Structure 1
Amino acid sequence: MLYKIRSTRGRFGISVLLSMSLLAACGSNQTDMSGSKANPTVAAKNPEAAVSAERVFTDELGHEVILPKPPVRVFAPYMEDALLSLGVKPVAQWSNGNQGHRYLQNELQDIPKLDFSGGLPSSEVLLSYNPDLIILHTANYADNGVYENYSKIAPTYVFSNAAGDVEKSLEILGELLGKTDEAKQALDNYRRKVEDAKAAIEKNAADKKVAIIRFANRGVSLMGGNYFCGYVINRHLGIDMTKLTENENSLNFSLEILPELDADYIFVINAYGQGTERMKEMTESSIWKSVPAVQRGHVYEVNDEYWLGSGLIAYEKVVEDVVRVLSP
C-alpha cells in the first residue's frame, strides 16, 4: 500500500494513494550534488567597516568580487529558497519552462520567471533586470563564458555547489547581502526544529533504514544521503539510508535490484510528474509487493516540490513529513 503525504495550510497529513497517476520524476539534470563541503574564502577587506563600505570577497572559484555598496537587486537562480530565508526577493526567479519552485510561489508570485530549460539567460536578458549582484549556485553555471559575460553586468559570486551544504551557503549569502543576523536566526530556527524532530522520532527511527526512490523521465534512482532530502534525513535527522546507497550519491535502480532493498521505510518521489509510467510499472509488480517495507505499509509518496528543493524552507518541510511518518 502506498501512502501520500499532503500539505494542507502548512500541515501534513497522510492519506492512502488511490491512483498511480500522481508523482513525478525530476527531469532536470542535476549537476554534482556530492554534498562535499567547500571551503570558500569569504573575506571582507575590512571586517570592522560598516556594511555600507566597499567589501571584497573571494568566491569558491577564486574570483575577486567587489561590492561597493550593499546589494539591493539580486539575481541568484536556484537559490530563491535561501534568499527568502533572509527576507530578500530576487529581481527574477529560476524556472523550468514556466514552472518555478512551486513551494515558494506564494512568496514569489510577482517575481518574473526566467526559463533555464534551454540554458542560462543571455547577458542582454539579464541586463534588463539591472541586478547589482549576481550569484551562481553551481560552478557549471559559470562555464562557457557565462561568468565573464555576467561579471560585466554586475559583481558575480560563484558557488562550487551551493546545494552541497545549504547551511554554509546560507551563511555566505548572509555575508554577501549584509544579512548575517537574518542568516543566523534562520539557521538557529532550523536547528531547533531538527532537534525537536529527532526527539519526536527517536523511538521509531532507532536502527531503522530509509530509501528514497526517485522516478524520473530518464529513469529510476535511489537517492543517497549527500544531497537534497537525503541530506536532511541522513545528516540532520541521523537516520541511516539503505546499504545500497552507503557509498553513492545516486544509484540507478531497477526491478532486478529491488530484492536487495533493505529499507524499513520507503519514500517515493515522482519529480515534475514525469515518472508516472515507471512508478506504475515498479509498484504494480509482484517483486515490489514482496518487499517487507511495502508489505508493512511503510511506503509514502512525498512532494517533489520540496523533497528535491535546496534550502532551509524545503528542508523544514521534509523534516515535518518525516516526523509525520515516524513519530508515535
Structure 2
Amino acid sequence: MNSRMKRGALYCVLIIALMMLASCGKSAGNNSNQGANSNQAVSDEAASEETTEAAAEETTSEETTESEESQATRIYKDADGKEVEIPANPQRIVVLEYLGEALAVGAKPIGTAGYLIDAFAGKVDGIQDVGDVPVNLEKITAMNPDLIVSFDGGSDREDRPQLEKVAPFVSIAWNGTLYEHLRAMGDIVGKKDQAEQWIKDYEAKAQSAKEQISSVVPAGSTAVALGIFDKSFYAYEDRNIGHTLYHALGFTPTPKIKEMMEDGEASGAKEISLEVLPEYAKADYLFVMLYGDEKTVNQKYEDLKKMKMWTNIPAVKAGHVYVVGPEWFYYDALTLEWELDETVKMLTAKPE
C-alpha cells in the first residue's frame, strides 16, 4: 500500500472514531437530562401530594370548627327565671311568639304559631304552622328544632314542660318593651348586633317621620288610640299603636292615658265603659281600631258617632279621626315599622 492510501485509511479510521465519541457524548447527555427530568417529576409529584394533604387537613379543620360551633352551647336565663342550656348558634328555631323580632334580626324560624302565620302573610314562606295554644306538640317534635322561644307563661304556657322535652325552651317577658323584646331575641339567637342595628335604623326612621308630619301636626298635640270590640271598648297606652304615637312620633298622651302608663297595671290596654270613653278620648288626634265581627263593630262605631259625647271630642270636631283595622293591634318590630309608615301617610293626607 502506498503512502497516499495509508493516509486515507488513517483518516477514515479517525473520522469513524470521532463520530463514535460524539455519539457516546450525546447519549450520555440524553441520559443525564432524562435523569434530571425524572428527578423533577418525582419532586413535583411529592409537592403536589403535600399540597393536597395540606388542603385536606385545612378542609377537615374548617369542618371540625363548624361542627364545634354548631354544637357549642351556653346558659341563658329567661324571663321565667330559668337557666337553660341553649345552642350558641341555633339553626332550627320554633317561635311561638315574637316572630316579628326573629325576622327583624335575620333569624327565620322553621315554625311558628298559627295566628302569626296569618298576621305576617307574605313574610312566612317556608315557615310551618305549629298551631296556637296548645300547640301541635307532635308536629313540633317531628320538625326536630334545636330551640323553642315563647313568652313567659304561667297558666298561658302550660305546655312548657312538654315542649322542654323536645328542645331547649326559653321565654321572653310579655310585658317588656319593643326594644327589650328585640334585644332578648337577638341575644337568644346569637344576633345582638343585628338587633342593635334594627333599633338604630328604626329610630332614624322615626326621626324622619316626625319631620314629615311636623308641617301638619302642631308640636305638643295629644293623641289617643281606642279599640272598639263587639262588646267592649279599650283605651291603649304606649304599646301597640301607642308606641308609634308616643315614642316614635312624639305625640303627648292625655292625662288618663298617662295614668295608665304610670301605674303599669293595664299591660298595654284597659277596658273602659261607654260612659267614661270621652274622658279617655279627649285628644287632638284620635285613632280608632275596630276588632271583631265586621258588621257588629262597624254598626257599633256608627252608633257611637251619632252620640253627643262623641261629637264633642276635640279630635272629632277637628276632623282628626283615623280608623284602622285589627292588624294595628300587634306589638312587634315589623308591625311597628310598617305602622310608622302608615301613620305618616294618614296624618299627611285627609282624615276620615
Smaller-chain TM-score range? 0.7 to 0.9
1:57 paired to 2:55: no
2:275 corresponds to: 256
SS at match of 1:213: strand
CA distance in 2, matches of 1:178, 1:111: 20
Partner AA of 1:318 in structure 2: E
SS at match of 1:241: coil
2:343 corresponds to: 322
Partner AA of 1:106 in structure 2: G
Deviation at 1:110, TM superposition (A): 4.0
More helix by share: 2
**Relative contact order, higher structure (CA 8 A, sep 6+):** 1
1:75 corresponds to: 94
CA distance in 1, matches of 2:249, 2:242: 10
Contact 1:255 1:287 in 2 (8 A): no
The alignment's TM-score, normalised by the length of structure 1, stands at: 0.74
SS at match of 1:247: helix
2:10 corresponds to: none
Partner AA of 1:312 in structure 2: A
Unaligned runs of 5+ in 2: 1-67, 261-265
1:30-109 superposed matches below 5 A: 53-96=72-115, 100-102=117-119, 104-109=120-125
Partner AA of 1:171 in structure 2: R
CA distance in 1, matches of 2:192, 2:109: 18
Deviation at 1:133, TM superposition (A): 0.4
Change (3 A) 1:141 1:231: farther
SS at match of 1:128: helix
Change (3 A) 1:273 1:88: farther
1:292 corresponds to: 314
Larger Rg: 2
Of stretches 233-242 and 252-261 in structure 1, the one that deviates more from structure 2 is 252-261
CA distance in 2, matches of 1:212, 1:93: 29
Partner AA of 1:127 in structure 2: T
1:276 paired to 2:298: yes
CA distance in 2, matches of 1:252, 1:70: 42
1:111 corresponds to: 127
2:331 corresponds to: 310
1:133 corresponds to: 147
Identity of aligned residues (%): 24
1:222-241 superposed matches below 5 A: 222-225=235-238, 227-241=239-253
SS at match of 2:227: strand
Contact 1:243 1:262 in 2 (8 A): no
Deviation at 1:157, TM superposition (A): 0.6
CA distance in 2, matches of 1:301, 1:123: 39
1:265 corresponds to: 285
Of stretches 232-241 and 152-161 in structure 1, the one that deviates more from structure 2 is 232-241
Deviation at 1:74, TM superposition (A): 0.9
Change (3 A) 1:152 1:258: closer
Contact 1:76 1:90 in 2 (8 A): yes
Over the aligned positions, Cα root-mean-square deviation in angstroms equals 2.6
The alignment's TM-score, normalised by the length of structure 2, stands at: 0.69
1:184 paired to 2:201: no
CA distance in 1, matches of 2:194, 2:71: 17
Unaligned runs of 5+ in 1: 1-48
Deviation at 1:316, TM superposition (A): 1.3
CA distance in 1, matches of 2:290, 2:126: 27
CA distance in 1, matches of 2:95, 2:286: 33
Which whole-Å deviations, capped at 9, do the CAs of 1:109-158 have from their partners, x for residues lacking one? 44332332xx32153342122211001123247643x2222111101111
